[in-house]
Amino acid sequence: MDLTKIKSIDTFQQFLIDNNDKEGIYGDGKNIPTVDEVPVTHKFADQMYIRQMDMKKGQVVVGCIHKHLHVWFLLTGKVTINNNGAIEDYIAPCYTISKPGARRVIYAHEDCIFVNVHKNPSNTQDIKKLEKEIVKLNK
């Protein structure tokens, strides 16, 4: 999949939503992909929420809009990310700071482990509550 030809994240996201019945394409920005589609593990530390997503080679995930500044790590693998129209390749191990408003489409060139670390000042372990605090679902 050549993400460099798609400059508009809205166009790309709509293409993926229109095709998310196909194997390997998950998420529509309106719902969080299920664990059966893309395995997600949740861990907690003092005032931190760590969300690990295990992607298989060839999978595409359409993310929601992130509300807060946070860090993400690519621990293994290689991905191409379209983040609000900016397309970049990442090879593990690496990390970056994600700004509020980030909306990513992630393509896994290899099996990979992708980890987001979010603030969690209330120390809640209620995933639904955390998702409402952390992301805005695309409408």
> Measuring CA to CA, which residue among 136, 86, 71, 81 is closest to residue 112?
81
The one-digit pLDDT tens for each residue of the chain (139 residues) are 454 544 555 666 666 656 555 555 555 555 555 556 788 999 999 999 999 999 999 988 888 888 999 999 999 999 999 888 888 999 999 999 999 988 888 999 999 999 999 999 999 999 989 988 998 865 5
> For the stretch 114-125, what's the b/e string if a residue is b when 16 or more beta carbons lie within 10 angstroms of its beta carbon?
bbbbbebeeeee
Strands 135-136 and 94-98: unpaired
Whole-model pTM over 0.85? no
